[in-house]
Amino acid sequence: MDDTIFALSSGSPPAAIAVIRISGPRAGEALSSLAGAIPTPRRASYKRLSVSRGTVLDHALVLWFPGPNTATGEDLAELHLHGGKAVVAAVEGALADLPGLRRAVPGEFTRRAFANGRIDLAEAEGLADLLSAETELQRRSAIAMAGGALSRQVDDWRMRVLTASASVEAVLDFGDEDDVADLPADFIARINALATEVSDWLSRPRAETLREGFRVVLAGPPNAGKSTLFNALVEDEAAITAPLAGTTRDVLTRAVAIGGVPFVFADTAGLRDGTDDVIEAIGIDRARAALDRADLVLWLGAAGEGPDGAWEVTPQIDTPSARPNPAARHAISAVTGEGLDALRDDLIETARHAMPRPGDAALNARQHAFLTDAELALRATRHETDPLLVAECLRRARVAFDGLVGRATTEDMLDALFGRFCIGK
């Protein structure tokens, strides 16, 4: 990374303030070229920015952060400009004209922070989630990950594995190589305790539910009132409603936050066994597929006919045709609003239990896979009597921990992760 990058790191202009970041070995030269001198490190200085011909670009606050103790691990400068489009364009143009400078690509500042050891992979993933957080639950979980909650735990586990590995190596070097009798008396207990801690993390609610939202699918026969309830829950006329069977032909989804909890509601085609309408048949197939992906199904059909675990809901209780269902968890009218508040409160409470507690770090699919490998390797030590095989199990656990925080990873995976970031991050 011998080149120096720059990008607008604040929101798109116009705005009151625009922040341009510069990172790399020529950041100081760039700052000196525009501001006339490099200011005192880590102190805001008021400077006139101009190009070599003397043309004034702006009057701005500038900050200088000499590496390696910076966000990216490199020399870093920030220009706090007036946030007009023309000002930002002029300063970016001046930077682009300087030798050795180029515009950053999405996520490049954070990728340099990772490459230079300022953050690890788990923290980078937490930062990506923080930038995309839309609810308070998402924000607090992302803050925990970006702040290193998981990384610190993994470092502790890794050191304990290294300590255990040292005990095994001592046996291999100085003990009887036929068994593990010379290992410390509490060796297996310590490994079991470590595996249990990893298992506890694996049993936590996953990050995907928090990031994507608790998925609630509305299902039932045609004309059961699914679309009307869907519109009431998302507080929008998103679905077409009509007193005709088969109005809904596809799965319609809408992401909303209720009580600070992210949800994805899905309205589906009415379920019935036979239809001559090819389009409706496709909609029914898609509805059944949506049921398989649901975290929860609201069943608006006959009692006992919904999928396992579904909440039975009596709809349209404001109409004479409403059929009482003693087993229904809720009875509602999406038209008058009767019962809707109780349904929403129940959904919020259920979703909260399915998601990480506020402030808890949550594992994504990649992290979960690595921790699963580590747990399996640790559990395997209990069944081995050959110290060489015990050492191999501990090595596999250490490799899994290293992969989780990015000590061993691939360029393709890094490209996918840092591509989630904006250009100036």
Detail the residues annotated as belonging to a binding site for (6S)-5-formyl-5,6,7,8-tetrahydrofolate: 21, 78, 118, 425
> Which residue, chain included where needed, has tokens 């036929």?
178
Sign of CA dihedral 339, 340, 345, 346: positive
- Please state the residue numbers annotated as binding site for Mg(2+): 227, 248
Summarize the annotated binding site as residue ranges: 21, 78, 118, 223-228, 242-248, 267-270, 425
**Residue 211, SS3?**
helix
Please, where are the H alpha helices in 249-294?
278-293
- Cα(198)–Cα(217) distance, rounded to whole angstroms? 33
Whole-angstrom Cα distance, residue 111 to residue 123?
A: 11
Q: How far apart are CA 149 and CA 123, in angstroms?
A: 8
- DSSP code, position 105: P
At 71, list the tokens. 């966000």
Contacts of 425 (CB under 8 A, 6+ apart): 9, 106, 107, 109, 110, 127, 131
**What are the structure tokens assigned to 25, written together?**
């070995």
Helix, strand and coil content of the chain, in percent to the nearest 5, comes to 45, 15, 40
Give the DSSP per-residue string, 32-97: HHHHSS---TTS-EEEEEE-TT--EEEEEEEEEE-SSSSSSSS-EEEEEEEE-HHHHHHHHHHHHT
- The binding site for GTP consists of 223-228, 242-248, 267-270
Residue with tokens 């506020």: 358
Kindly give, in sequence order, each residue whose CB lies less than 8 Å from that of residue 262, ignoring residues fewer than 6 positions away. Answer: 134, 135, 137, 138, 210, 211, 212, 213, 214, 255, 256
C-alpha 85/C-alpha 97 separation (Å) is 18
Cα separation of the two ends of the chain: 16
Residues with Cβ within 8 Å of 324's Cβ and at least 6 positions away in sequence, in order, are 314, 331
175, HSE (Cβ side, Cα atoms, 13 Å): 17
